[in-house]
């Protein structure tokens, strides 16, 4: 099969985007892995498949697969690329788009400067939502927020639709992302594994962040990871309600008013090239 695709990135988190709005497409996990392979395939962190909506309230449905072929619930940087793609491909003339993912409906807005703002929904802090098993652990409370001792560090756990465990570090440049990241990602307390964030507070409105993503390993940016880090930082009393997040691949802006209010994420979405590959 010859497959047409578009390569895109959001702050360096890169995607193979596939338009399945006109005809259904099913790729095997092996085909996904081939697409994701940076030497033998195209190369990407995630694969995004855009489908027609199955619900009257949404404009599209989009599915997200890590480059291992595993389907996941949410991808912040990918959702911005999704909007850029459907607008540039003429699949919609709207600037405010509603899309269904595996477990959330997102509202996304294309800004005049080309950046995209995504209403990411509300964070969920209950350990069961990740799921995270805290049995036998005694958390340290920081401004009333639970930081859980796991692998010798303190983790704030939060679901943004997908699972995140965030730790504060003194310096992201020297943080043990490559060694500790996989240990947290695959820790037995996270039954569906977890994205491991390393957060450095630079000021009350500015952080630096690295994320060791579930399946994909460290990426240049993680949108849901940025949301998770900021909401953990706000709940722990380290951050104000609007924060610039410096990732290794670019800058994201995250806003959260607390409680049940949604997290807003604004950032870039860039097309790299169109291509075709034999699968
Ligand atoms: N890069 C993404 C997150 C992709 C999914 C993640 N690796 C998971 O397994 O949950 C983002 O920008 O949010």
Extract the tokens encoding 79: 């959702």
Q: How many other C-beta atoms lie within 10 A of the C-beta of residue 56? A: 5
Please indicate, yes or no, whether the overall pTM of this predicted structure exceeds 0.80: yes
ipTM over 0.95: yes
Q: How many helices (H) and strands (E) does the chain have?
A: 4, 19
> Going from the N-terminus, what domains does the chain have, and what CATH number goes with each?
2-120+268-278 (3.10.310.10), 127-261 (3.10.310.10)
Tell how far the Cα of 21 is from the centroid of ligand 1, in angstroms: 23
Q: Which of 70, 214, 248 to mutate to test the pocket of ligand 1 (most atoms within 8 A of CB)?
A: 214
Active site residues: 75, 222
**Helix pair 76-88, 223-235: axis angle to 10 deg:** 130
Taking the CA of residue 227 as reference, the ligand 1 atom at the shortest distance is: 13
Ligand 1 atom 8, closest CA: 214
Average pLDDT score over residue span 223-227? 98
- The rounded percent of the chain whose pLDDT value lies above 70 is 100
pLDDT tens sequence across 150-205: 999 999 999 999 999 999 999 999 999 999 999 999 999 999 999 999 999 999 99
Residue with tokens 């489908």: 51
pLDDT value of position 56:
87
Residue 12, helix vs strand vs coil? coil
Asked whether the predicted pLDDT for residue 15 surpasses 90, the reply is yes
Percent of the residues in the chain that have a pLDDT greater than 90, as a whole number = 98
């Amino acid at each position: 099969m010859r497959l047409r695709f578009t390569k895109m990135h959001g702050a360096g988190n890169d995607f193979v985007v596939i338009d399945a709005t006109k005809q259904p497409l099913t790729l095997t996990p092996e085909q996904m892995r081939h697409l994701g392979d940076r030497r033998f395939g195209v190369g990407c962190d995630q694969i995004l498949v855009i489908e027609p909506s199955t619900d009257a309230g949404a404009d599209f449905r989009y599915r997200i697969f890590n480059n291992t072929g595993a389907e996941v619930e949410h991808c912040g940087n990918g959702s911005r690329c999704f909007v850029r793609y459907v607008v540039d491909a003429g699949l919609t003339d709207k600037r405010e788009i509603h899309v269904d993912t595996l477990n959330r409906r997102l509202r996304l807005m294309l800004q005049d400067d080309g950046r995209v703002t995504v209403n990411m929904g509300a964070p969920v802090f209950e350990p069961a939502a990740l799921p995270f098993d805290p049995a036998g652990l005694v958390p340290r409370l920081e401004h009333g927020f639970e930081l859980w001792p796991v692998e010798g560090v303190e983790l704030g756990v939060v679901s943004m639709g997908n699972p995140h465990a965030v730790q504060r570090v003194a310096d992201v440049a020297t943080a043990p992302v490559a060694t500790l990241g996989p240990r947290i990602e695959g820790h037995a307390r996270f039954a569906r594994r977890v994205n491991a964030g390393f957060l450095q507070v630079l000021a009350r409105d500015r952080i630096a962040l690295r994320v060791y993503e579930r399946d994909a390993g460290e990426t240049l940016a993680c949108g849901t990871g940025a949301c998770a880090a900021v909401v953990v930082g706000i709940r722990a009393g380290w951050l104000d309600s609007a924060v610039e997040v410096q990732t290794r691949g670019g800058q994201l802006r995250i806003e959260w008013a607390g409680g049940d209010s949604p997290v807003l994420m604004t950032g870039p979405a860039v097309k790299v090239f169109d291509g075709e590959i034999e699968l």
